[in-house]
A and B are shown apart, each in its own frame.
Chain A
């Protein structure tokens, strides 16, 4: 079982009714494939935060999840305003979420810090006025 499985999802901005669909779907698939619950939790949290950030902060984009036996890689590409200061955005508590969004329970400024905490490798590239690309990796320890 060395083959990679590639899953693709489209994320629309402001579509809260479907937000979380990609993470739920990936979670379900990983469960069926027998991945460790801790690994699944790391993937689900990281991907959900990334997905919801696309819904809230971008104009929409795509998610690609590449499942290999030794790692799960998630590539989130959006078109949008981009992130001007990534270091600042990474700080716990920093959020530009408007009141309307905060009233839904978002805007703690914990999404990116959660991704950092629950992934093994997080790479963010962003161009202001163009969009943001996130590459999130969760490693799967090889069982002896």
Chain B
């Protein structure tokens, strides 16, 4: 599923920033809040579910080539981080669901 389609097919997920490169594939969910672990373990094209919502999350998402970031538990970007998301063209979604439920939702939708 492309990021473009992915963003459209979840009523549960709010679009915080629509990025560029929307034709890339979303490969599956990945969960981790510790940046240096996410950096080395996240598969390319992951929908990265995390509660960390600062500029560093965006730097890691870009370097690890995540398809998008999904902020769970109602986490939101501060102004610096939102500017960074726009500058880097990173797609960021948000939800009040907990991390596991969010990842499960993504997993089921991608694999249905």
Q: Which chain A residues have a beta carbon within 8 Å of chain B's beta carbons? A: 16-17, 19-20, 23-24, 27, 44-45, 48-49, 52, 104-108, 110-111, 114, 117-118
Contacts and interface: CB of A to CB of B under 8 A. Distances in A.
Interface residues of B, number: 21
B62 A110 contact: no
Contacts of A19: 55-56, 59
B17 interface: no
B56 A104 contact: yes
B33 interface: yes
Contacts, number: 66
Given A27-B63, A105-B34, 14 more contacts: A19-B56, A20-B62, A23-B59, A23-B63, A48-B39, A49-B36, A49-B39, A104-B52, A105-B35, A105-B52, A105-B57, A106-B36, A107-B34, A111-B36
B89 to A, nearest CB: 12
Chain B at the A interface: SS class:
helix
Contacts of B37: 108, 110
Contacts of B33: 105
28 contacts: A17-B55, A19-B55, A19-B59, A20-B55, A20-B59, A20-B63, A23-B59, A23-B63, A44-B63, A45-B63, A48-B39, A48-B59, A48-B63, A52-B56, A105-B33, A105-B54, A105-B56, A105-B57, A106-B34, A108-B34, A108-B35, A110-B34, A110-B36, A110-B37, A110-B40, A111-B36, A114-B39, A118-B40
B57 to A, nearest CB: 7
A16 B50 CA distance: 19
A106 B35 contact: yes
A16 B56 contact: yes
B16 to A, nearest CB: 18
